[in-house]
């Protein structure tokens, strides 16, 4: 889906840009499945230096998340930085460097992992989301319910009894 061709970088002998745009299947996120709204753009520049291919790039797109407070689904913009290094046909003792055999390097898994790491642990549709009423489930962003005004403060409950009219009407 997102495939670099390292032979192009060698041939050009200078930083080489690779742009990809693709629709990604839903990801299994920390808080359920995360689906994409529209395509994902991957823009990278690969430079060959010191025997390594240095990749710098960004991943951008939009995912649909469910708000942790009000449960509404909303569009969350993504902007993730990519920084990878590759060596070809040999191994190096460096966990930051990926060893590849081919000229063709598939970035799909790298892109997926970088998106997963960038997802918020607790998504909110907006910072000041007021969530749901615990009594009636009303979405409080859309207006107040009257649960709170109906609920009698326990400290005043005795007082309410005191003012209740006598059911028999006589003392």
User: Which residues within the stretch 93-132 sit at the binding site for Zn ion (CB under 5 A)?
Assistant: 125, 129
Single out the residue of 4, 24, 65, 67 in contact with Zn ion (rule: CB under 5 A).
67
104/147 with CB nearer Zn ion: 147
Measured from the CB of residue 156, what is the shortest distance to Zn ion in angstroms? 19
Among 22, 66, 82, 133, binds Zn ion (CB under 5 A): 133
Q: How far is the CB of 121 from Zn ion (least distance, A)?
A: 15
Minimum CB separation from Zn ion for residue 135, in Å? 4
Q: Distance (Å, rounded) from C-alpha 109 to C-alpha 100?
A: 14
Footprint of Zn ion (CB under 5 A): 67, 69-70, 125, 129, 133, 135-136, 138, 145, 147
């Amino acid at each position: 889906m997102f495939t670099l061709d390292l032979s192009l970088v060698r041939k050009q002998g200078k930083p080489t840009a690779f742009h990809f745009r693709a629709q990604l299947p839903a990801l299994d996120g920390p808080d359920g499945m995360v689906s994409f709204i529209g395509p994902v753009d991957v823009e990278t520049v690969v430079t060959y230096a010191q025997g390594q291919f240095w990749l710098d790039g960004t991943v951008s797109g939009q995912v649909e998340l469910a708000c942790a407070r009000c449960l509404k689904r909303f569009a969350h913009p993504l902007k993730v930085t990519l920084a990878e290094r590759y060596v070809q046909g040999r191994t190096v003792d460096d966990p930051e460097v990926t060893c590849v055999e081919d000229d063709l390097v598939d970035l799909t898994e790298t892109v997926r992992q970088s998106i997963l790491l960038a997802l918020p642990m607790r998504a909110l549709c907006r910072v000041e989301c007021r969530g749901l009423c615990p009594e009636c489930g009303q979405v409080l962003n859309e207006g107040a319910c009257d649960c709170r005004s109906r609920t009698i403060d326990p400290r005043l409950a005795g007082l309410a009894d005191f003012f209740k009219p006598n059911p028999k009407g006589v003392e």
